[in-house]
Amino acid sequence: MSTFNWEMESEKQWDSMAASWNSRSRGMWETGSRKDIVPFIKQYVPAGSLVCDLGCGDGTGSEKLAEAGYDVTGIDVSEEMLERARMNPRNEQSTFCKATLSDCGSPDNFFDAVMAINSIEWTDNPYLSLKETSRIVKPNGFVCIGILGPTAGPRTNSYRRLYGEEVICNTIMPWELERLAHETGWEKAGELGVYKKAAEQLSLDSLPVELQQALSFMWVFMFQVTK
């Protein structure tokens, strides 16, 4: 009986998805679900800050951070994704390293801020990933985490867990991440909801935050790491 190796399986699956992901990522960051994330980060993190893009994928998000004036290091488990990030001429001033979110290899208290968009879910132990993030961020630094919300639809990459199978995706609800971050010792500094068009027609601001989260396609938190 073979033993499930999360890191190896994760890299294999993300390597296989690199081409299709790369074809869609620019649209997500420029006009789609991720277009407001870097402007959101700019509200808290000054230009010139050293920012780690945890789970950087093909580096399009890293590119947007660099364009906003940040010094960027991208970290990902997939070598195929990292190669695409390095080949992007707009990323020539950024650094890209292969590592996992729970052991990224960076020095203690090194980064001013961390961005992790739809990557915390793709770890075998999200809590350890948050602890590792605490380690690499400077005291009072900021961590921006985006996770898919309830209306993002069925996560086929995590669904088979219901059969007891090993999977590389841990689906997380916004309220679960908020509690996990609080128990890690972080303070919520801000949040941003991303919605499907049908939900945008509702009076979302009149709803309690938990209902706004329940209707979200993606929920983006800004946490401050107090230590």
Q: Is the pLDDT of residue 133 over 70?
A: yes
What CATH number labels 6-25+36-225? 3.40.50.150
Mean pLDDT of 114-121: 96
Q: Tell me how far apart the alpha carbons of residues 124 and 166 are, in angstroms, rounded to a whole number.
A: 10
Whose CA is closest to 15, among 77, 98, 68, 101?
A: 77
Q: What is the pLDDT of residue 5?
A: 87
Q: What is the pLDDT of residue 23?
A: 86
Query: Can you list the positions of beta strands (E) in the chain?
Result: 50-54, 71-76, 95-98, 111-117, 137-148, 186-194, 218-225
Q: How high does pLDDT run on average in the chain?
A: 94
pLDDT digits (tens, 9 = 90+) for 185-220: 999 999 999 999 999 999 999 999 999 999 999 999
Q: What is the pLDDT of residue 154?
A: 67
Q: Does the reported pTM lie above 0.75?
A: yes
Higher pLDDT, 167 or 61: 61
What DSSP letter does each residue of 40-101 carry, written as one string? HHHTTS-TT-EEEEET-TTSHHHHHHHHTT-EEEEEES-HHHHHHHHH-GGGTTSEEEE-BT
pLDDT digits (tens, 9 = 90+) for 96-110: 999 999 999 999 999
- Is residue 75 within 8 Å of 55, Cβ to Cβ? yes
